[in-house]
Structure 1
């Protein structure tokens, strides 16, 4: 007669099976990120125009470098002056693999997998494998994270450098402090929103089990090195291209900044509420759980990883509140701390003997991720390529025209360069008053827009030359304005025609 397995043995067997299954799911969804990389972004996730603009805008320096040998275009939108790190990474990719939309997105996927590995290392430094696995499950399977981590956006590399900074700070000593400052500086030069990480990294430096004077010295060294790095960046890059720096800062930072405490307070409430875009179940669950721990107390409230996650979320939401713009992609940065909080709570409940509560919380997390995972798989089973097809067809039309070294102008012309290699000018992210001068200097051959041309821009274009409609495409189901992408051919007036009233 076979012996009945001991309950403890059954529990360990089930735990091992659960760990194995979780690891397989993480590996599966990590691999699925490489599938159909040029497919359209899934509908219903983003309501902002970033699907048209941002991939190309922040890769424009890399595109120009591999196509023309120049990383900036005088008088145009040159965000690489303010944010040079990601274009450098993309330039390496394009030089090694060639210029394409798929290769631009491949860079982001690889960086996101490195981010997952860094979060695993961060979790295992202070917590058990359950916390680490739950965090990685959330990062791998959550549909918002799955979708946005496949786009060539700044949030992924910025978050990677932040986590590397946290790992370096946890190492301690002079070496760890120097590495933490270097990682934080890279994060800031990837996206300025990385400033949220300053209190998080300082928290890790000050949490170390060392004499207070040494901890304060390391925190001071970190701040000094970061300041010196920013100063060096100013003298090496910014000072020689100050108009580019000022244009980006004014149009993308200063003009979006909220003014007044009342506006900031309202913005913070709105930003917290919009966080449900990341996940309508896991995000509020993590926030409510963290609030409960802060109120009730207990061992978890003294856990360093709990405070790292809480300060991370609070500082990031506060940073977003200073702006009047918070699209869904911004919340990708919260995938790691939300996953860490949920993992910590499940592991804490299980270790404190409340396995029923731990099982219930784990069940809710698994159910939410199952829904997310199902959406991701369904999305990959039915890929659409309206964006990539439009770029190929547009490039074909341009080649048929036979114009020498054609230039394309438009709000999202930089993004079209990723798939076509065409030299592009941006008509929105720079001052509108500079458009006539740039038209005369670069003489664009085409104009691309959503639907009709805005009246002020049309007026400038018609003074420059004739504006002829060529073709329209329905892209991304026309989700943003309800209008198709429209291509116009520009033919510059002769000097005699231009002189006529």
Structure 2
């Protein structure tokens, strides 16, 4: 049985590489704006460095200052494969595949082959993972570092200083991939402590080694890279400043749990049921180190989502593997306790959910659409035919750059304001979602005559489903200098 499950997992993971340039699946319940922006935003520094030699773009949105790991990895990958959106997605998918391998190794070492095979199959066939795991965004990278941290921690023994230092390096990379990784650190440290048989006295030295290594590396990064660009560093955290208010804490807690159904309704509620049973009845679940670390990872990330009030579906990708671990270990313990009826009910429900997920994933894979790539190529073609300054502004401009190589700058989070950015770069092109409904057209319309040059139907999002290309012609009073030229402008 385990080999059949592994075969299913391998087949569905391989399916992810087919039509890798296609759109995020239309018709899904996961209305996430990352499909329009995040691949370009967080990989843009790698593209600019590969094409023009510069990691940092003055006056623009520079997430590479606070989250440098993915751009650095991507830049190295581009050196082998060349620059492109599909190339970035391949790397993210490879990392997600390695995470699946580590999930198998973690469960096989602690629970056996059948549990390991069942877990990787449930993750691999999940359409939620198919949709988000194929994107060149930060979440698959965050999952990779989390799983690598758990994998190292599971093999930790007292006195293994080299492995402790290695784990500290991984935790630092986790934090520098995305700051939300902080909420996953307790899970990794718990796994290390539990794997050393929960020592009462000998835990301080390994914890200090791991924590000290991570802290020293982070301070070195901050001094060398973040502090010289401190305003860019602060901007990123200012963007994500929303906090839950006391008056809405209960309703936001419910929304956070409700949105866990994006992963899969049956699997998520099964995980909640197992967690409740572990507190009141199946206490032996806590003897499994991987169970405790999965609880901490799930609860920790749910706490972050709740604290920041109702975030996007992609955030739940980080919890898929821990949630599946809870379910698989729960079913195994029910069976071991000879609670056969409970194991059959829970296992049967999860099995049926797995079959339904397979059908949905195959449905998405069989219906690829390429509207975003087509729009990007159409925009680039129009810009090149018209000549002039090849610089595109817009919230999705960085994504267009990754698709086509034309220079683009994100105008949504301009350092110093949009006017300062326009004064500095003097763009001649602007791409706005849904034309006049896009916020940016108000500012651009004050200083430019905006000539529509193209309209492209993209995705099925009710708020952002048409990408409009404008040629910008400056009005009198603004034509004082040509502006800076990015090195990779064509």
The reply to whether TM is greater than 0.5 is: yes
Query: Which of the numbers 424, 438, 443 marks the counterpart of 1:460?
Result: 443
Query: Which of the numbers 227, 233, 240 marks the counterpart of 1:245?
Result: 233
Aligned to 1:182: 169
Q: In the alignment, is the contact (CA less than 8 A) between 2:61 and 2:413 conserved in 1?
A: yes
Deviations 1:56-105 (A, max 9, x none): 11111011111111111101000000000001111122221112221111
Q: In the alignment, is the contact (CA less than 8 A) between 2:432 and 2:441 conserved in 1?
A: no
Alignment partners' CA distance in 1, 2:290 and 2:193: 13
Aligned to 2:267: 282
Aligned 1:21-170 pairs, distance under 5 A:
21-43=4-26, 44-170=28-154
Q: TM-score, normalised by structure 2?
A: 0.92
Query: Which of the numbers 469, 481, 497 marks the counterpart of 2:452?
Result: 469
Aligned 1:309-348 pairs, distance under 5 A:
309-348=294-333
Query: Which of the numbers 221, 224, 235 marks the counterpart of 1:233?
Result: 221
Unaligned runs of 5+ in 1: 1-17
1:354 CA drift (Å): 3.7
1:210 CA drift (Å): 6.6
Aligned to 1:15: none
Q: Does 1:486 align with 2:468?
A: yes
Tell me the secondary structure at the aligned position of residue 202 of structure 2: helix
Aligned to 2:242: 256
Alignment partners' CA distance in 1, 2:247 and 2:266: 29
Out of 144-153 and 164-173, give the one that drifted further. 164-173
Deviations 1:288-315 (A, max 9, x none): 1221122113422322222111111111
Q: 1:375 to 1:297 in 2, by over 3 A?
A: closer
1:215 CA drift (Å): 0.9
Out of 487-496 and 92-101, give the one that drifted further. 487-496
1:495 CA drift (Å): 5.5
Unaligned runs of 5+ in 2: 482-490
1:257 CA drift (Å): 2.9
1:468 CA drift (Å): 0.8
Alignment partners' CA distance in 2, 1:222 and 1:262: 39
Aligned to 1:394: 379
Quick check: which has more Rg, 1 or 2?
Answer: 1
Tell me the secondary structure at the aligned position of residue 19 of structure 2: coil
Deviations 1:103-128 (A, max 9, x none): 11111110100111111122123211
Alignment partners' CA distance in 1, 2:418 and 2:260: 37
Q: In the alignment, is the contact (CA less than 8 A) between 1:63 and 1:418 conserved in 2?
A: yes
Query: Which of the numbers 181, 184, 189 marks the counterpart of 1:197?
Result: 184
Alignment partners' CA distance in 1, 2:305 and 2:445: 39
Deviations 1:36-69 (A, max 9, x none): 0011111223223221111111111011111111
Q: 1:212 to 1:66 in 2, by over 3 A?
A: same
Q: In the alignment, is the contact (CA less than 8 A) between 2:434 and 2:467 conserved in 1?
A: yes
Deviations 1:120-147 (A, max 9, x none): 1221232111221121012101110111
Q: 1:314 to 1:496 in 2, by over 3 A?
A: closer
Aligned 1:341-356 pairs, distance under 5 A:
341-356=326-341
Deviations 1:406-458 (A, max 9, x none): 11001111111110112211121235x62112112111121111112468743
Alignment partners' CA distance in 2, 1:456 and 1:367: 45
Q: In the alignment, is the contact (CA less than 8 A) between 1:134 and 1:340 conserved in 2?
A: no
Tell me the secondary structure at the aligned position of residue 450 of structure 2: strand
Aligned to 1:403: 388
**Number of matched residues?**
476
Alignment partners' CA distance in 2, 1:213 and 1:236: 37
Tell me the secondary structure at the aligned position of residue 59 of structure 1: helix
Q: In the alignment, is the contact (CA less than 8 A) between 2:145 and 2:173 conserved in 1?
A: yes
Compute the RMSD of aligned alpha carbons.
2.0
1:498 CA drift (Å): 7.1
1:246 CA drift (Å): 1.4
Q: Does 1:302 align with 2:287?
A: yes
Q: 1:190 to 1:497 in 2, by over 3 A?
A: closer
Q: In the alignment, is the contact (CA less than 8 A) between 1:130 and 1:347 conserved in 2?
A: no
Q: In the alignment, is the contact (CA less than 8 A) between 1:464 and 1:493 conserved in 2?
A: yes
